[in-house]
């Protein structure tokens, strides 16, 4: 039932103005009950978007679903509170200029930026994007992906990066949470979508130069060594490094570098040698794949593939050799990444084990941290998701998978049974 989130009065038509004339619009009552205290629900943003529901929380703000009135379509909107610095005219112009560049990215594997702007005299900025249904790569990794699905996901991510790199746009925060596995019913098309191109730069480019130098913006588990060093000359090779980290995690079920302290992970990205690939059980890595990952993760940007176009050329060679060995000529292979009923499959096979499907956990975003790279192991760390110092150790986003995870669950079940038996014995003793 449509309801006004401000006065609580109902109506008949979604997104219609409230009859009380309070400036709010009617949204679904179910969406309002999920976040009754949110200040944006039912509000009109930029004189054209009606905020209808919360669909996620990122490292730098909430993500909302909204109705764009003029064209009658649903969009995803990110709203950020930028504070006093965002009110300066210079900051506003830099934001507009950068957003216009990002809006040029147009590719089936890229989430399209529709609109952007400021609200409340510059205290809030917003970005309206294509709304994409599906599941995140983070969730798919937790379930466990087969090699065919991994290869297809990486290929489509590389095609998205190729488009951006051709426009001299660097993603800067490539990670599983920013990749959606989606499906288009109208065309029976399975598609991988990459989100948030250049958002990190877009949000922080308005800060004073003295603030930006020496600060890191990204997710430590996937940041390139040059990002960890706080360098400003970030090139497409930085995205290639992040891609290598994701490829390693998809195959092995764990990150290449693991630490409970983000400062230590930053140090490992800069100094630690690349560990060998140890694929999950039943994951057969094709010839040349490990060399591809190690080249992506080279510490020196000059030793990596310079951009996604070069990396894609090498990667297609690996996929082509694999296809010819297993199925036939590459042009005859129809590789698919499907999400029917919240599942993912590659080459029309289910890559998710039944036990892991039942044990699937909810998505949670990897934290984005700011670290002073000059003394990273000892520096003050701020969780920008909450805007306050981290009070304790922050665990890397690693999930229990494979035999170890099943053993832990078995031990927990056994312990619960023993406790139940002990409780029954105690009750019988008291009855006597």
Predicted confidence (pLDDT) per residue in 55-72, tens digit: 887 656 678 999 998 899
> Is 223 in the same domain as 127?
no
Residue 14: inside a domain: yes
- Most confidently modeled of 4-18, 311-325, 364-378? 4-18
CA quadruple 347, 353, 358, 361: dihedral, nearest 10 = -80
Distance CA 309, CA 316 (A): 11
**77 and 128 in contact (C-beta within 8 Å)?**
yes
Q: Please report where in the chains the tokens 């993760």 appear, as a residue.
A: 297
Within this chain, do residues 147 and 92 fall inside the same structural domain, yes or no?
no
Q: Is the pLDDT of residue 42 over 90?
A: yes
Domain extent at residue 263: 133-414
In-domain check, residue 114: yes
pLDDT at 105 exceeding the cut of 60: yes
Residue listed under structure tokens 């909302």: 64
284 and 165 share one domain: yes
- Closest listed residue to residue 113, CA positions, set 195, 168, 31, 229: 195
Q: In this structure, is residue 105 part of a structural domain?
A: yes
Same domain, 321 and 188: yes
CA angle 255, 224, 97 (to 5 degrees): 125
176 domain-assigned: yes
Highest mean pLDDT among 110-124, 204-218, 352-366: 110-124
Separation in Å, CA 76 to CA 64, 115, 275: 6, 10, 38
Measured distance CA(321)–CA(300) in Å, rounded: 28
Is residue 261 domain-resident? yes
Q: Which of 102, 131, 160 is the last residue of a domain?
A: 131
Nearest residue to 114 (alpha-carbon basis) of 93, 104, 170, 60 = 104
In a shared domain, residues 88 and 165: no
How many distinct structural domains can be found in the chain?
Answer: 2
Supply the CATH number for residue 117's domain.
3.30.200.20
Question: Angle at the Cα of 135 (from 177 to 382), degrees rounded to 5?
Answer: 20
Sheet containing 382-383: order of strands: 369-370, 382-383, 388-389
How many angstroms separate the CA atoms of 309 and 180, rounded?
Answer: 21
Q: In this structure, are 120 and 185 located in the same domain?
A: no
Distance CA 304, CA 238 (A): 9
223 in Cβ contact with 231 (< 8 Å)? no
Q: Which pLDDT band, with edges at 50, 70 and 90, does 212 fall under? A: very low
Give 279's pLDDT tier (boundaries 50, 70, 90): very high
Residue 342 pLDDT > 70: no
Q: Are residues 210 and 317 in the same domain?
A: yes
Residues 39 and 172 in one domain: no
Q: Which helix (H) or strand (E) holds 55?
A: strand 49-58
Among residues 63, 96, 131, the one where a domain terminates is 131
In a domain, residue 221? The reply is yes
Strands 44-45, 337-338: pairing kind? unpaired
DSSP string for 270-311? HHSPPPPP-PPTT--PPTTHHHHHHHHT-SSGGGS-SSHHHH
Q: Give me the CATH number covering residue 245.
A: 1.10.510.10
User: 135-136 and 189-194 as β-strands: parallel, antiparallel, unpaired?
Assistant: unpaired
- Among the listed ranges 137-146, 177-186, 402-411, which one has the minimum average pLDDT value? 402-411
Same domain, 126 and 138: no
Copy the structure tokens of residue 161: 């990066």
- Indicate whether 199 and 245 sit together in one domain: yes
Helices (H), 167-306: 199-204, 209-212, 225-228, 236-252, 262-271, 289-296
DSSP-derived letter for residue 349 is B
* Tens-digit pLDDT profile for residues 142-181: 999 999 999 999 999 999 999 999 988 899 889 999 999 9
- Is 375 part of any domain? yes
Residues 6+ away with beta carbon under 8 Å from 278: 252
Instruction: Answer with the one of 114, 131, 148 that is the final residue of a domain.
Output: 131
Catalytic residue (one of 148, 173, 196, 239): 173
289-296 helix and 236-252 helix, angle to the nearest 10 degrees: 140
Q: At 367, is the pLDDT very low, low, confident or very high (cuts 50, 70, 90)?
A: very low
End-to-end CA distance of the chain: 58
Chain length of the chain: 432
411: which residues sit within 8 A by CB, 6+ positions away? none
Q: Looking at the structure, tell me whether residues 146 and 88 fall in a common domain.
A: no
φ, ψ of residue 54 in degrees (nearest 5): -95, 130
Rounded to a whole number of angstroms, the CA Rg of the chain reads: 24
Could you give phi then psi for residue 285, rounded to 5 degrees?
Answer: -80, 125
What pLDDT is attached to residue 301? 96
In this predicted structure, the answer to whether residue 432 has a pLDDT above a threshold of 80 is no
22 is catalytic: no
Q: Tell which wins on pLDDT, 264 or 219.
A: 264
pLDDT of residue 204: 52
Sheet holding 179-184, edge to edge: 135-136, 179-184, 189-194
Confirm whether 421 is domain-assigned.
no
Q: Please tell me whether residues 277 and 376 are part of one structural domain.
A: yes
For residues 417-423, average pLDDT: 85
Give the three-state DSSP class for 238.
helix
Average pLDDT over residues 348-376: 39
């Amino acid at each position: 039932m449509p309801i006004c989130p401000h006065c609580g009065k109902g109506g008949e038509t979604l997104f219609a103005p409230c009859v009380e004339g309070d400036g709010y619009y009617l949204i679904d009552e179910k969406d309002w009950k999920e976040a009754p205290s949110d200040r944006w629900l039912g509000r009109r943003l930029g004189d054209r978007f009606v905020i209808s529901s919360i669909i996620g929380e990122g490292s730098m703000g909430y993500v909302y679903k909204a109705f764009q009135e003029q064209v009658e379509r649903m969009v995803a909107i990110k709203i950020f509170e930028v504070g006093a610095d965002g009110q300066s005219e210079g900051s506003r112009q830099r934001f507009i200029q950068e957003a216009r560049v990002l809006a040029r990215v147009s590719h089936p594997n890229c989430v399209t930026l529709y609109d952007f702007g400021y609200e409340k005299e510059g205290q809030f900025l917003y970005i309206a994007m294509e709304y994409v249904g599906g599941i995140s790569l983070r969730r798919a990794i937790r379930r466990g992906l087969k090699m065919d699905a991994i290869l297809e996901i990486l290929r489509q991510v590389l095609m998205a990066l190729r488009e951006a790199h051709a426009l001299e746009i660097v993603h800067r925060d490539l990670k599983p949470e920013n990749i959606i596995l989606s499906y288009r019913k109208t065309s029976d098309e399975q598609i991988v979508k990459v989100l948030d191109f250049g958002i990190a730069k877009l949000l922080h480019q308005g800060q004073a130069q003295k603030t930006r130098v020496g600060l890191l913006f990204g997710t430590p588990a996937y940041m390139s060594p040059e990002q960890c060093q706080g360098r400003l000359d970030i090139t497409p090779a930085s995205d290639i490094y992040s891609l290598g980290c994701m490829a390693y995690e998809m195959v092995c079920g764990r990150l290449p570098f693991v630490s409970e302290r983000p400062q230590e992970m930053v140090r490992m990205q800069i100094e630690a040698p690349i560990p060998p690939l140890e694929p999950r059980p039943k994951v057969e890595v094709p010839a040349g794949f490990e060399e591809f990952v190690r080249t992506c993760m080279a510490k020196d940007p000059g030793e990596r593939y310079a951009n996604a176009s070069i990396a894609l050329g090498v990667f297609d060679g690996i996929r082509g050799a694999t296809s010819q060995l297993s199925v036939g000529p590459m042009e005859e292979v129809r590789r698919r990444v499907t999400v029917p009923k919240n599942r993912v499959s590659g080459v029309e096979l289910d890559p998710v084990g039944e036990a892991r499907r039942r044990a699937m956990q909810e998505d949670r975003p990897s934290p984005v941290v700011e670290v002073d790279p000059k003394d990273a192991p000892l520096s003050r760390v701020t969780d920008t998701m909450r805007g306050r110092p981290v009070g304790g150790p922050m665990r890397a986003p690693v999930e229990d998978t494979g035999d170890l995870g099943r053993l832990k669950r078995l031990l927990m079940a056994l312990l619960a049974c023993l406790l139940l038996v002990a409780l029954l014995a105690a009750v019988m003793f008291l009855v006597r």
